[in-house]
Structure 1
Amino acid sequence: MTRHAQSERLQLCDELDRLGPDQPTLCEGWDTRDLAAHLVIREGRPDLAVGAVLPFLAGRLERERRRMALGDYAALVARVRQGAPAWNPMSHPRVDELTNLVEYFVHLEDVRRAQLHWEPRDLAPALQGKLWSALKRSSRLMFRKSATGIVLIGEGQGRHAAKLPDEHGAVVLRGTPAELVLYAYGRKDVARVELEGDADDIAALQQAELGIS
C-alpha cells in the first residue's frame, strides 16, 4: 500500500527543519513551531487534543501547546516525523492513511504557501485521487456554513454535489482535487480554484467560513 500520508508527513517535517521555528504559516497566529506542537499533541496527547472540541478544555490545550512550542524545536519536529505512538490507532498504516492524509497535506501547504515565491506541487495522479475521495467524504461538513449550493469538479476525477442550495443558488468549483481540498479547508486565498455562478452567490461563498471550525 502506498502511504501518501506518510510521504506528506515526511515532506512537512523536511520543510519544518529547513525553515526553522519562527517562519509563518497559513494557520492564523501560528508560526512553524506552533504547528509542530499542534501535530505532536494531536497524535500523542489525546488528553489535551480534546480541547479542540470541548470549549472548557481549550485553555488547557492552548497553554500546553504554547509551552511545548517554546521547547526544543528540532526534537519537536523529530516527534512529528516519528508518527503516532504505538498505542494510538493512527500508528496503523491504514488508519494513518485515512485520518492523516488530508491533515498533513493541508499543513504542508500551510507552510509552503506562507513563504515567498511558492508554486503548486505537481502531485501524482494516485495522490490526487486519494485527496478527491477524502474531499467527497468530508465535503458536507466542510461546506456546511455556505449559503450557496456547492458542486465540485475535480480535474480528472469527475463532479460531486457537496451541498444543496440554501439562501442562494449553486456555485461550481473547478480545480485539481488538491486545490479543492485547500479551498474546502478554508485556504481560499491560496487555493487555485475557478468559481462559476452568479456574482452574488460567489460573493456569499467567498464570505462563508469553511472548514471544520
Structure 2
Amino acid sequence: MRNDVWPLVHAERAALIDDLERLDTAQWETPSLCEGWTVHDLVAHRVDTAMATRLGFVLDMARARFDFDRQNALGVARARGATPRETLQRLREVATRTTAPPAPRDTRLVEEVVHGEDIRRPLGLTREYPVQAVLRSLRYQARTTASFGGAREVVARVRLAATDADLELGDGPEVSGPALALLLAISGRRVALDELDGPGVDCLAQRRDGR
C-alpha cells in the first residue's frame, strides 16, 4: 500500500533525532558525506524535505529556475536554524508529517536511510536499521533510473547479493556484502565500497558521491 511507508519513515526520523540530541556544537559542523554540506546543513535538508508538498516543490523549483541543486540550497537556507538546537527542534516538529514532493513515497524512506548514514558515518555513529527499511530502499533504488536518482542502469550490469538478508538483484558480475552497504554504494556513496566483495565492485565504484 502507498501509505505503509510512513511508519518506517517516521521511525527513521525519530532514531536520527535521538542520535542528534547527543552531539556537541562542534560535531554539527562535521562534513557530511554529501559534498559541501555539514551535518547541520544536511539536518536542515531533512527538515525541508519533511515539510515539502507537491505544490510547494513545484513553486520552489520555479524559484530556483528549475535547478535542482539551487532548489536544495534554498531549502537548506530556509530550514536551517540559527543554532543546531533550533534546527533539531524544527526536525522534531516535522518528524511525523506525511507530506511529500511529487515523487513515489518510497523516496522518503530512501532519503531517511541514506541521508541517515550521510550524517552518522562521519560522526562515527552506527544504527541497526530495520531490515525491511533497508531492503525496501534497496529495491526502489535498483528499479529506478539514474535520471530520477536511482541506479537501475548500474544494477543492470551487476548482481547484488546481500550477505545479511535474502536478496539478490541484477544480472552480471557479483557484488556481495551487507544490504546497507549495497544500498549506499548504488546510491553513490563510495565510503561503502570497502564493505563489498566481488568482481562487480568496480562497476559500483563509477557512481559518484551525491545527494
Report if TM-score (shorter chain) is over 0.5: yes
1:51 aligns with 2:53: no
Q: Which residue of 2 aligns with 1:25?
A: 32
Q: Which residue of 1 aligns with 2:176?
A: 174
Q: 2:140 aligns with which of 137, 140, 143?
A: 137
Q: 1:204 to 1:192 in 2, by over 3 A?
A: closer
Q: 1:174 deviation in Å?
A: 1.1
Q: 1:23 deviation in Å?
A: 2.3
Q: 1:146 deviation in Å?
A: 3.3
Question: What SS does the aligned partner of 2:197 have?
Answer: strand
Q: 1:114 deviation in Å?
A: 0.6
Q: 1:133 to 1:192 in 2, by over 3 A?
A: farther
State how 1:102-141 maps to structure 2 within 5 Å: 102-115=110-123, 118=124, 120-123=126-129, 127-140=130-143, 141=145
- Please report the TM-score for the alignment, with normalisation by the length of structure 2: 0.70
- Please report the TM-score for the alignment, with normalisation by the length of structure 1: 0.70
Q: What root-mean-square deviation, in Å, do the aligned CA atoms of Structure 1 and Structure 2 show?
A: 3.5
Q: 1:189 to 1:85 in 2, by over 3 A?
A: closer
1:159 aligns with 2:168: yes
Which protein has the bigger strand share? 1
Q: 1:63 to 1:131 in 2, by over 3 A?
A: closer
Q: 1:189 deviation in Å?
A: 1.6
Larger Rg: 1
Question: What SS does the aligned partner of 2:32 have?
Answer: coil
Q: 1:16 deviation in Å?
A: 2.5
Aligned length: 191
1:42 aligns with 2:49: yes
Q: 1:77 to 1:139 in 2, by over 3 A?
A: same
1:206 aligns with 2:205: yes
**C-alpha contact (below 8 Å) 1:34/1:69 kept by paired residues:** yes
Q: 1:179 deviation in Å?
A: 1.8
1: distance between equivalents of 2:161 and 2:37?
A: 32
**C-alpha contact (below 8 Å) 1:153/1:174 kept by paired residues:** yes
1:71 aligns with 2:82: yes
Q: Structure 1 unaligned runs (5+)? A: 165-169
